[in-house]
Structure formats: structure tokens, C-alpha cells
Amino acid sequence: MVKIALVIYRTSLISCLNLLFLCSIVSCDSEHKTTTLKHKSILFTAASLSTVQEQYSSVQLFQQSMDQAIKEVDAQIANGIEVPIPKDLAGGYTHERHKLNYLTMQRAGKLYRVTGEEKYAVYVHDMLREYAEMFPTLDRHPSEKSYSRGKLFWQCLNDANWLVYASQAYDCIYDRLNADEKAFLETNLFRPYANFLSIETPQFFNRIHNHSTWANAGVGMIGLVMNDTVLVKRALYGLEEDGLDTAAKDNDGGSIKEEGQERAGFLAQMDLLFSPDGFYAEGPYYQRYAIYPFMVFAASLQNARPDLKIFEHRDGILSKAVYALLNLTDSNGEFYPINDAQKGMSYYSRELVSAVDIIYHFGDQNPELLSIAEKQGRVLLDVTGFSVAEAISQGKTQAFVPKSMELKDGADGSEGGLAILRMNHTGGDLNAVFKYTAQGMGHGHYDKLSYSLFENGEEVLQDYGVSRFVNIEQKNGGGYLKENKTFAKQTVAHNTVVVNQTTNYGADIDVANKRHSDRFFFDASKKNIQIASAKDTGAYDGVRMQRTIALIADSSFAKPLLVDVFDIDSDEINTYDLPCYYFGQLLLANMVYETRATLAPMGDQFGYQHLWEVAKADKLPNQTKVTWMNNQQFYSWTASTDTSDEFLFGRIGANDPKFNLRADPMFMLRRKADHAVFASVLESHGSYSAVSELSEDAFSKVTGIDVIYQSDDYTAVQIRHEGGTLQLVLCRNDSAADQSHEITIESKKVSWTGAYDYQVM
């Protein structure tokens, strides 16, 4: 159509009439059948639908996404409709079938809307009718595992997913159905379904939680399609009366209703689940999951209820949430796996395709988003995806550059945060992720002041992530595994200090939910140092902790150094354990250690029961060094240690009767003290090729790290290396950027302004 339009651009009226005649023939015979929008749609406006219908085939990425959807949907149409009686858990047949059904329905609906091909509408209608016939016969799902059992699925969460997708499918065929057909579906399926998810399951609908976001979105979207203002209001503001108990918990130990919680519904989720920086309390893995209902319901509102200006709500919080997510990724686009996160989830997920397309179209049309959409290789089959694909075809793409940043946590930004430090080097990049957030509700881990490190998208020091195999039926039906509580959530499973072999807050979620770490300072403005410092006084009663993580670029080193200064203070003598979860093969450890002839667990609780003690050193040199090799590179960790310190080599996997844990290695520095400073430096260095068998820079260049100054107000460390010395002085009490400081270190005066001083000596 576009080509024809171009050809006849300067033609006479008669030619135009000819064209109209031509078009009417074309629209009958080609796949470009146009349909007019006859209701308030959640996916298009009348104008945008007509643009997409007319132009899509000339926009490559959109057409490509259509082709993919056509292939998948046609295969399902050929397969025939299957709407089985619900029975299985995640990974099982009925679960996976209903999931495939809603995904297919939504795609089929959009294909109909864009192409006008009848068969897609028929397929959606037929399937919805089968659901409408079955739904009134269903009781709750036979599995009793969930705190909010669903009907099609074992938990309402999946049922809400179904409704979010089915609403879109219904929206696409709505104009094509007669009044009786619509009444049949709405009476038997959609209204009771919406009531089931809300009025009948308030513990699911009225929380401030990603589960409820899905519920709100499903109920609101079907309400918009049916123009049911009651449902839409319920979705936006929650149930007026829910009768929920503040002592109730969900399956993950998360609260159903926090004390003092008054609000519910979609707007409350937008106001309370994100920090002002767009950080979502449960972390990026769940933020990715949660972002889909946020984005798709917001886009639905923007299409059907533009008066609400939803994308402007709370200073554009949805846009901030998407950018936070995009920045919470390593260089492969994979999310940093903090809290309950399955590794490998990335911005290639369908949720992020939606988020990028929607925030591009309804947001600021940032050309950097287009580079991510190009990598994703597909767009939504609606006006948002069309906008993105069209902009790409017009060459507007710019590279997305992830940034070093601090994301504050808490609804008002006062509950600690997360620092992302990034430095590029000639061979790639290093990212340190330093976590000093609040607990993150039911999916949070007890890992105050932990950090993990990534190089070129590979983990150097890992966060274990979740102990779960999502949708793998053999592993507890794809659900959370026991070891998630007994190991993965525990403090010792993370790269942070464990006090007296006890987990933060004694692993009490109620205490955890009320406390948080505190940011101290963050500075990523300089070329040669990026630094973040945070404190915690709540994780262990009577123990004051400050950790500072810095990436330092120095010309003596090919790659940045990671410097870690962990200051711990207590009035009592405690045991401080600092675990370090590396990957690969140990090459060198400079202390005298004894390997165990038989292995026993390191302890009997708080995660220690899952760590085999492989070797132990009872005393250490002043500088402890460990070098290992992974991914054809070398890593060396050098720490300032006391001779009375202990050092343990361990491996995950003890007390794991179902082989649920990964048998990854770790080491741990242990000190008994009241006040301790764990100062260490991690070097990534050199390379190895298994083909040329050449090794380069296999040895650490750091000769030592020393704590050269300690007081209540300051801690200073020096890193000695073959080519010189680096000095880092940290404030402990005053982080004001404009405050001047002066101290004397080894009879030399050091003065600076701000929270820290870094010098190449």
C-alpha cells in the first residue's frame, strides 16, 4: 500500500478514484485487510490501528515479529485447541498447556487485529468459548500448596497471568463478536474470573506485592475491554474491605498485609513498590516479572483512558523502573541475580520486550532503547512495537550505555540502596554490584552489605541466586526448594560478613522487613575511581558494619582493581566470617593449610550445614593471597590478615539429599575480634589460551594491602604493588561532600574534602 501511495502521489482526482477502487480490491485479496476500531481498545487507538494496518509490512522488524508469531500461532492452530481440566503443577502438562494457550491467544488476537485474517479471530473465540464452558465447573486447583490457590493453575498468580493475556486477546476480537457472543464469554468467564481473583481471593488481590500487581492488571484490563468501570476502579484502588490479617504470610514467608497498610490497587503498587529511583524491592529478577503487568496495564490505560496520564504518575515512575532494570544487567544483558533470582534471565525476556517498546512509545522515544530492541530482535504486535520497529528502520538507533549508578531503596528512597560500579578496560568491563538495600520482602536474601563481581558478563564472585529450577517439574514442580531457605537466603551464602555464624536478623523475616542498611556515600564521577560505601547496624544487634567497595583504574594494571574495606565494630569479641564465592580452579594459596581426609559440614545451621569444609588454615601470613583461574583468565585476592586469623576452603553441597544445590567452591576468612577491618583487593589479570597454550600475566601484581590508619572517624588502606602504592582514606562518620578533613598518616599530613580521599603515592 505504501508503494502504491508513493507512486500515485501527484495524480489527478480520477487516478485517486482508480486507486480507491484498486485498494478495495487489494484489501479483499491481500493479507492487508483493514478493520476499524469500534470500541475503546487497550492496544490501539483508532488512528494508531489504521497506521499499523497500513504500514506494518514495510517495517522490517515488525514484519519479522509478525512472521514469527504467524509461525507459532499457525502451528498451534494446526495442533488444535486443548483446554484440559487443571491438575498439574508448574512443568506439568495442564500447567504448561494453559500457559501456552494464553500466550498463543494473545498473539493470535493481535495477528487478527493487524492483518484482519479471520482464522486468528476464530481461533481466539473458539478457545475462549471452551474456557467459558469449563470455568463455571471449576473449583480451586487440587494442589493445596499455595496461600492463594488458583483455578486453572495451582496458584492465582498464574491465573492472573492468564487474564492479563486473555484480556488482550479478547480486546482484539471484541469488535467482531455479536452481543450474545460477548455476553456468553463475559457472564461465564470474564466477570466471574475477575471476581475470583479479587473479591474471592483478597489475600491475593489486596497486597502491596507483585502478585497483586498481576491481579490488579488482569482485573483492570478485562474491565477496560468490557468498559466495566467497577472492575477498573477496583483494579486501580483495590478492594475497599479485604478483612486481611497482618499476621498472615504467603508461601515464601512474605507478609500478606503490612501493619498500617491502608492502600491497595495498581496506583498503590506504583507508589509503594518502587523506590523513587525505580528500584523494586525484590530485585531485578522479580522486577522483570512484575514489570510486565505494570507496563501492559499502563499502556492499556493510556490507550483506553488517556485522561489518567498514567505514565506521568509519580514523576514518571514506570519509565524510571524500566531504566533501572536495563541498568541492572551485566554486559550480556542478564540481570544481576540478587535475592531470589534464577540466573540467566535477561532483557531478552518477553517482559522486557514489552517494557522497552511501551516505554519508548509512551515515554521519551529515547534512541538508546532501540539498540536493545534490535538485540531483542522482536517487537510487540501493537502500536508500541510498531513505533520501535519504525524508528529502527529509520536509522534512529543509538547504543545503550549502561551506567554506574546508585539505586536507592524504599518507597521514599530512605532504605539503603544498590550501587552498580562499572569500569571498561581494553578487554571488556568489570561490574561490581554492592547491595545495601532493605530486605526485599518474601524474596529478599539476608545479605546485608554483600557484593558480587562480573567481568564481561561472567560471574567472578557470585551471588548464589535462588535455589529453584523454575518450571522444571522434577525439582519440586518448579517451585522454591527447601534449600532456598536453608542455604540460598542465608548470609553465609553471600560475599559478606557473617557474625558468630548467624544469619542477619537471626533469619527473622519480621525483623528483617523492618530494617535496612544505609547508604553512606556513592561517587562514580571520576575516571580512576568509582566508590560506594554503606553501613548497617541492624543486621546484628550491637554490631556496626561499614563496607566500602571501589573500582580503581591504575596504569600499572591492565584492568581495574576491586578494593574492599569492611569495617566491623562491636563491644564484644565475635567471630567474623567473610566468605568469597569464586569459580574455577585454585592455582595458588600462600598459607599453610590442611586438606581434610574426610569432609564434614562447617556447621549445623544458618547455611553452614550446606558447606563442606575442604581445607583449613589455622594461622595466616600478614598478606593472604589466593589465585585462581576461570574463563581463561586469572584472578587474585589479596587480604590484610592477622596471624591468628583462620582460612577455610569450602564447597557447597552438604546436607543436600536431593542434589538441589550447585556444588560451587568458596573460601572464607575468619577472625575473632571486637573491631576488625577486612581489607582486600581483587585483581583480574592475564589470560590463557588452551589453543596456543600461552599464559600471560598469570601472577598477581599486588604485593600487599595494609590498614595504615584506624580511628572512630577514619580508616585508611594502602595497596602496594610492583609499580607503586595506592592510598584510600575513608570517612566513617561524616560523608558530606563539602566537609574538609585532615589526618596524619605515618607522620604525613593528608587532607581532603568529601567522604574519601584516593591518591596514587
Residue numbers of the site for its own copies (CB under 8 A)?
91, 96, 342-346, 348-350, 469-475, 478, 585-589, 595, 597-601, 612, 614-615, 627, 629, 649, 651, 653, 655-657, 659, 662-663, 665, 688, 690-695, 698-699
Q: Of residues 112, 120, 131, 286, which has the active-site annotation?
A: 286
Whether 741 is catalytic: no
- Cell readout for 360 is 519508548
CA 606 to chain centre: 25
C-alpha dihedral, 345 to 327 to 432 to 583, nearest 10°: 20
Q: Give the residue with the Cβ less far from its own copies, 466 or 563.
A: 466
CB–CB of 323/278 below 8 Å? yes
Buried b (16+ CB within 10 A) or exposed e, 195-226: ebbbeebbbbbbbbbbbbbbbbbbbbbbbbbb
| Alpha carbons 252 and 443: distance in angstroms, whole number | 7
Q: Residue 452 burial by CB count (10 A; 0-12/13-18/19+): exposed, middle or buried? A: buried
Q: What is the SS3 assignment for 359-397?
A: HHHHCCCCCCHHHHHHHHCCCCCCHHHHHHHHHHHCCCC
* Residue 176 Cα distances to 112, 122, 124, 335, angstroms: 10, 10, 11, 41
| Alpha carbons 405 and 525: distance in angstroms, whole number | 10
Cell 557474625 belongs to 499
Q: Give the residue with the Cβ less far from its own copies, 34 or 471.
A: 471
Q: How far is the CB of 540 from its own copies (least distance, A)?
A: 29
Q: How far is the CB of 387 from its own copies (least distance, A)?
A: 24
- Cell readout for 30 is 491481500
Q: How far is the CB of 395 from its own copies (least distance, A)?
A: 28
Buried b (16+ CB within 10 A) or exposed e, 100-113: ebbbbbbbbbbbbb
Residue 63: what residue type?
A: Q
Q: How far is the CB of 216 from its own copies (least distance, A)?
A: 22
Q: How far is the CB of 412 from its own copies (least distance, A)?
A: 33
Q: Give the residue with the Cβ less far from its own copies, 122 or 614.
A: 614
Q: Give the residue with the Cβ less far from its own copies, 261 or 631.
A: 631
Whether 285 is catalytic: no
Q: Give the residue with the Cβ less far from its own copies, 586 or 745.
A: 586
C-alpha dihedral, 460 to 461 to 466 to 471, nearest 10°: 10
Q: Give the residue with the Cβ less far from its own copies, 44 or 608.
A: 608
Q: Of residues 95, 209, 361, 443, which has the active-site annotation?
A: 443
* Residue 509 Cα distances to 102, 444, 470, angstroms: 35, 9, 23
Q: How far is the CB of 474 from its own copies (least distance, A)?
A: 4
SS3 537: coil
Q: How far is the CB of 467 from its own copies (least distance, A)?
A: 11
CB–CB of 681/703 below 8 Å? no
- Cell readout for 496 is 559478606
Q: How far is the CB of 219 from its own copies (least distance, A)?
A: 24
Q: Give the residue with the Cβ less far from its own copies, 205 or 649.
A: 649
* Residue 615 Cα distances to 59, 143, 156, 576, 723, angstroms: 61, 45, 47, 18, 34
Q: Give the residue with the Cβ less far from its own copies, 589 or 679.
A: 589
Annotated active-site positions, please?
A: 286, 443
